[in-house]
Amino acid sequence: MSDQNTNPEIARNTFMRGNTRLGQEHFIAETDETGLGAVDAVSDESAPASQWREAWRYLRRRPLFWVAAFLILCALMLALFPSLFTSTDPRSCYLANSLGDPEPGHPFGFDRQGCDIYARTIYGARASVAVGVLTTIAVAFLGTVIGALAGYFGGILDALLSRLTDIFFAVPLVLAAIVVMQMFKEHRTIITVVVVLALFGWTNIARITRGAVMSVKNEEFVTAARAVGASKMKILVSHILPNAAAPIIVYATVALGTFIVTEATLSFLGIGLPPTIVSWGGDISTAQSSLRIKPMVLFYPAIALALTVLSFIMMGDVVRDALDPKGRKR
């Protein structure tokens, strides 16, 4: 027997050449040359990354996130611990200092009433940020409950809650707040403003929650939870809402800045917080009379308000991109 017949590799090549035409030869690479084992080797020991972990990986690589987080942290520090930034009482006003220039200990100068503008800008964050945060919490809770019940149970309950949402949605927020705040001329506090804004500001979150719940309630994990005997409320609270929370969080972040602006608008019109409570909107309203003489009186509270609102809007944008990979690719 010849070497050609005894060598399996030569025999295979001879067989391949004998069954193909010229120019149509098949070349088969060796198994160890392809590296299929290395390509197909996938580690199954590590747990898959959750949506929130993937979002955090995206956020920490975005400079916009860190800028927004820094500005929000500054606003919260001003609201919670204003005495760390100034020892001057914002209500201590002396007419002798009216429209005075900056001096040591008073870097922003004085307003028409002789009040320290720097101290009032620092302490003004407390009322404005408090209204924004408390209103957002109240709106998120109320809107989430109404939207979740409507989207999950459907039927008559969905029809009733949806029509109720449409009625409140048809009323402009600022106009409704102006009308209702007129009823509390003698009792205007931070809580009063929060209640009024929350009463008419929950409709958008309710609509967003309803749509998110309706898209999640037919997923396989909900069917599995239903099959093992979980109650409807447990499925809604433990399975559906956590998976529908992303759009709610995004809107709530942006809405927080909107509510701060709304409070400032009401205080600017003189129907929000009373003059005894230091707020950016009230200081902007007071500075109108000094705008031509000394515009910097209005500039400082206005820039503080603008930066705070801008920080929440930027945070909402970057969080939306982190929680919506499809939208990020577009």
**Residue 44 pLDDT > 60:** no
Give the pLDDT confidence of 198-253 residue by residue, as tens digits.
Answer: 999 999 999 999 999 998 888 888 888 888 888 888 888 888 888 888 889 989 99
Q: What domains, with CATH codes, occur in the chain? A: 55-329 (1.10.3720.10)
Torsion angle, CA of 195/79/285/201, rounded to 10 degrees?
Answer: -30
pLDDT confidence of residue 52:
75
- Portion of the chain with pLDDT greater than 70, in percent: 83
Kindly state the tokens that stand for 94: 């002396």
pLDDT confidence of residue 30:
56
- Full-model pTM: 0.79
Q: For residues 127 and 278, is the Cβ–Cβ distance under 8 A?
A: yes
Query: CA–CA separation, 274 vs 91, rounded Å?
Result: 13
Give the pLDDT confidence of 303-316 residue by residue, as tens digits.
Answer: 999 999 999 999 98
pLDDT confidence of residue 280:
92
Query: CA–CA separation, 238 vs 245, rounded Å?
Result: 12
Residue 115 main-chain phi, psi, to 5 deg: -85, 150
53/195: higher pLDDT: 195
**Residue 5 pLDDT > 80:** no
* Chain length of the chain: 330
pLDDT confidence of residue 131:
93
Give the pLDDT confidence of 179-195 residue by residue, as tens digits.
Answer: 998 888 778 889 999 99
* Beta bridge partners of residue 116, listed in sequence order: 110
Find where tokens 């690589």 sit. Answer: 61
**Residue 275 pLDDT > 90:** no
Neighbours of 64 (CB within 10 A): 13
pLDDT-derived band at 326 (thresholds 50, 70, 90) equals: low
Give the pLDDT confidence of 101-146 residue by residue, as tens digits.
Answer: 888 888 998 988 889 999 999 999 999 999 999 999 999 999 999 9
pLDDT confidence of residue 322:
86
91/28: higher pLDDT: 91
117-153 vs 155-169: helix crossing angle, rounded to 10: 150
**Residue 36 pLDDT > 60:** no
The residue-averaged pLDDT of 250-267 equals 91
pLDDT confidence of residue 93:
87
**Residue 2 pLDDT > 50:** no
50/153: higher pLDDT: 153
pLDDT-derived band at 8 (thresholds 50, 70, 90) equals: low
**Residue 31 pLDDT > 60:** no
The residue-averaged pLDDT of 83-91 equals 89
Mean pLDDT, the chain, integer? 83
